[in-house]
Amino acid sequence: MRKRLLLHICCAPDGVYIPEKLSEDYEVICYFYNPNIFPKEEYEKRKSEMERVAKLKGYKLVVGEYNFQDFVKRAEKLYYLPEKSARCDFCIAMRLEDSARKAKEMGCDVFATVLTVSPHKDFERINELGEKIAERYGVNYLPSNFKKNDGFKRSVEEGKRLNLYRQDYCGCESSLVYRRMFKDAESRDTVFLFYGERVGIYDLDSVKRFLERNNCLTGFVFYKEEPTENVLRYAYELRLFVEPFSKLDWRKRIFEKKGKKVEILKLTDIANRDIFLDPC
């Protein structure tokens, strides 16, 4: 008899091909559980697309609770952090934990997640979290790297074939804010990249004023010395990207490839110019 596997699904494009693949070895039950998705309309859209896939493909699908307030209560404090940080760890662990609980409740032998099909996610970290949670719940976890062996490519192709809705941000409010910021930067002819040894609150104010004078909503600030938590929080409030200096060249190439003019400015120069322009 085949083992029963509860497969956590984050969205239809990622959940379109993997269940079919796993069905060769398991009796698969898909579990759509994603209280991180913001706003509610987006959640409904992603859920109904997965329901459509399940119907078309004959997948067994269970939909979890959309306990968004629980997610926000704990994750909101981490919104200012970039992707692949403690915020994502918490978000992924929350979904895996509920999947483990559900697997146990449904008498499944093992659980897994399609999150590892995404090239934007760290599959090793996801598996690490999955193993720890499995131990706590006394249920087995299937470690995976579903993007391997053309897994991601096949998911994309199948998604296209079925004309599935493919979102352009990960899911939470913070990822939506960052996506909008990025789109704004992309929509300008010139993208501003700022750099400095240390980044402080005053530097961010100067950068913001500089951007406003140039009709931009956002810019990228690169630091050599890790900024304080307050600085990172303030940057998020001001809608500025703050990244390590090692990423500057990479960012520059991304925008240049898109045909943008990239201006690289020193934070100290901006601050001095700012004092001169705005002596009050």
Per CB under 6 A, residues contacting ligand SF4 are 36, 83, 87-88, 91-92, 170-172, 174-175
Assigned token pair, 136: 């706590």
Assigned token pair, 51: 């329901």
Smallest separation (angstroms) from ligand SF4 to the CB of 92: 6
Quick check: 153 and 18 in contact, CB under 8 A? no
Q: How far is CA 237 from CA 101, 146, 242, in A?
A: 36, 36, 12
Smallest separation (angstroms) from ligand SF4 to the CB of 182: 13
Smallest separation (angstroms) from ligand SF4 to the CB of 43: 11
Position 245, amino acid: F
If the CB atoms of residues 93 and 264 are measured against ligand SF4, the closer one turns out to be: 93
If the CB atoms of residues 140 and 155 are measured against ligand SF4, the closer one turns out to be: 155
If the CB atoms of residues 179 and 260 are measured against ligand SF4, the closer one turns out to be: 179
Smallest separation (angstroms) from ligand SF4 to the CB of 107: 29
- What's the DSSP call for residue 61? E
If the CB atoms of residues 18 and 91 are measured against ligand SF4, the closer one turns out to be: 91
Q: Quick check: helix, strand or coil at residue 241?
A: strand
Which residues are bridge partners to 27 per DSSP? 4
Exposed/middle/buried for 150, CB within 10 Å: 0-12, 13-18, 19+? exposed
Smallest separation (angstroms) from ligand SF4 to the CB of 67: 14
- Roughly what angle, to the nearest 10 degrees, separates helices 86-105 and 68-75? 150
Which residues are bridge partners to 6 per DSSP? 29, 111
If the CB atoms of residues 88 and 271 are measured against ligand SF4, the closer one turns out to be: 88
* Residues written for the chain: 280
If the CB atoms of residues 91 and 139 are measured against ligand SF4, the closer one turns out to be: 91
Smallest separation (angstroms) from ligand SF4 to the CB of 273: 35
